[in-house]
Amino acid sequence: MQDLQGSLSSSRAYWPSKSVIAWNIDIGDGSCYLYASQNATLNVTDAGIQGHDQKIKLEKDEGGLPSNVMEKFPHIGGYRAFKVPSLLDVQSLLKCQLAVAAFSADGHCRNATGLQLPGVIDELYGYDGPLGAVFSGESISLHLWAPTAQAVSASIFREPSGDEPLQTVQLKESSGVWSGVGPRSWEGCYYVYEVTVYHHSTLKIEKCTASDPYSRGLSANGRHTLLVDLNSDDLKPEGWETLSDEKPNLPSLSDISIYELHIRDFSAIDPTVHPDLRGGYLAFTLQDSAGVLHLKKLSAAGLTHVHLLPSFHFGEVDDDKTKWKSVDHEALEKLPPDSEEQQAQIAAIRDEDGYNWGYNPILWGTPKGSYATDPNGPCRIIEFRKMVQALNRIGLRVVLDVVYNHLNSSGPFGVNSVLDKIVPGYYLRRDADGAIENSTCMNDTASEHYMVERLILDDLLSWAVNYKVDGFRFDLMGHIMKHTMVKARSMLQALSKSKDGVDGSSIYLYGEGWDFGEVARNARGVNASQLNLGGTGIGSFNDRIRDAVLGGSPFGPPLQQGFVTGLSLQPNDHDHGDKANADRMLAVAKDHIQVGMAANLRDFLLTNCDGNQVKGSEVCTYNGSPVGYATQPIEIVNYDSAHDNETLFDIISLKGIPFFHAGDETLRSKSLDRDSYNSGDWFNRIKPRLANPSFKPNKSHIVAAVENFTNLLQIRYSSPLFRLRTAKDIQVNSKDTIVRESKYDASSGCFNVPARTTAVFVEPRKT
């Protein structure tokens, strides 16, 4: 018999429906019991589980798990089913410490474990009513979904520091939602919840302090939620109500081109921006700064969207700028370019400066305070709106980078843990032992759970309506369920100017459709991975064309070349085998590029490198998957570099819908730092940085690169043939060409784009 001491710290059994418990154990002729303790006093002995308030016998269900359970939780499809008595008061039990134990026929305890509860919670407590702070007439009501909590209170504070509360209100529960009502004079105050709840990670009843998951305003570092009405006129910049009428024209989603940009990178070291505004939202409102003038130039050439790296409330950057540490950039400039000193100085303060990409979410629904001139009060709300407004007015729509696949922290004590304090074990995806899954990097969230999906949808709706965001880029989208993404797109597309102040038909959704980790091959349900998205109208990044163009992959041999990195002209004899193998690699890369240029359509017909006519889905497989997988052009985002790998310039120096990483057009380098999420302003600044002088571009090279980049945009918008809207259009027009001769001018380093030569040529979009 295995040692049972401490086994309740695992949760290997599931309660997926109120009528059944699933456990991967064969009890033979033995028996199984469910135990509950309101005060969390369960413990395991040789005789079984002691310290319980209730002991309930569970009967084996020879029919197995119900089909609806296996559909929602496919990873437990082979588990044994145990019937729960029909008259059991399940709601009361869910507020207790719970465990199951298996006994042999002679009465000896064979095994014991805790339970995972999201399934039964969804069945009993799925909720569609108000959540967060609701402003109505002369009152404000608070609503918190916390069905497993034993008690909830809200403390109201006048100041953001929250030293002494004005008052503490005990909330009352109805169907898992805790509510309380206060006067309208609370507006502008702050609040925090105290939730008394059993936490599986400590095996104790804990009193957890947390901000509101539906926070729409925060104090610095999110310690308290700001009671703020986003509909208040005081929070709306002049002209905000009519901004939807001023949005840049977008005839079709196929016309989109996207420029990825980090808010701090944009202006942190720009001398044309006032020091108080550098690295923040308001830098985008300065019409004559170097950065804005550059964006205007790209907009005039045809660029349509700016994709902002995470700008919600994330961890690892203090909102209080007075606490930041920094390095002396002028001193770093004087060091040799191949010195290790720059990295050493940056590393020493990397967790205490103002820089981070932001892929470590704490609360999804509020702008990050470190980008605002004041992290307290409504400043971040107003300034974020001004940023969106300013970008729209120079002809650029705004995409928000959202990170719904994981959270920064978990458990009952961490200052950055929120959701896991309020309904422990519900929001985060767990493995077969009950440990939190970490394949995304940490604390994977579970959109297959009803209220997790609802929080994601509500958050997207708030950003679209309250901030007039024009699109969303989903980080590790493959870890989100397909049904969540489809609901999101339908919800946003249904928004209208007359009803919501937003034209939802122009909102674009796309993301990283990688299929890995615990969700791979639909193990937790049909996920939003590349091969599952056909027909949804949701875009995914095209890694096929990226790797064919650049060679290898971000995780492959670093010197392996591709189509534009020398394999066709100057092979470097690294990682390619003999000439015949290198030639084959190049031929296959050309096929991948050809499919990619046809929007990676799975039914696109082409003649492959072997002379055979094949469909895009039949082209040589990409890591075991089809190259072509989309059904319409807007389902593919073609790119060659992004924030989380080497820049295009660094890759070349080292060896559908277009997507550009900010600075690629200025030959930006990060000194081969492929994961510079926390490498500070020095390595992330938008300018070149290489040790070898022969590789370092001069001003003329950079100017030429910018001109080539704008020429590329102008060519894309010169003809509808570069922005075909349907799969049929692409197949038909793939046989035709526009006659033009773009010639390379060696003296300027630019391509000369001739005047229009066909009737279908259209002028680039102007601001």
Kind and range of the H or E run holding 148: none
Handedness of CA 276, 279, 281, 286 (dihedral sign): positive
DSSP type of residue 448: T
Which one of 503, 512, 591, 618 is the catalytic residue? Answer: 512
Q: What is the dihedral of CA 529, 533, 536, 542, to 10 degrees?
A: 90
Distance of alpha carbon 690 from alpha carbon 674, whole angstroms: 14
388, 396 in Cβ contact below 8 A? no
Phi-psi category of residue 202: left, alpha or beta, with phi > 0 → left and psi -120 to 50 → alpha: alpha
| CA nearest neighbour of 552 among 518, 536, 575, 529 | 575
N- to C-terminal Cα separation, the chain: 75
Annotate 686-751 with three-state secondary structure.
CCCCCCCHHHCCCHHHHHHHHHHHHHHHHHHCCCHHHCCCCHHHHHHHCCCCCCCCCEEECCCCEE
CA 93 distance to own-chain centroid:
35
Q: Report residue 27 as tokens.
A: 């009890």
DSSP assignment of 168-211: EEE-EEETTEEEEEEEGGGTT-EEEEEEEEEETTTTEEEEEEE-
Q: Report residue 300 as tokens.
A: 């005039």
* Bridge-based pairing state of the strands 190-199 and 605-607: unpaired
Whether 475 is a known active-site residue: answer yes
Which one of 475, 646, 650, 673 is the catalytic residue? Answer: 475
Distance of alpha carbon 118 from alpha carbon 446, whole angstroms: 10
Integer CA distances (angstroms), 17 to 70, 72, 127, 432, 713, in order: 11, 11, 16, 17, 54
* Bridge-based pairing state of the strands 177-183 and 139-145: antiparallel
Whether 515 is a known active-site residue: answer no
Residues with a known catalytic role: 475, 512
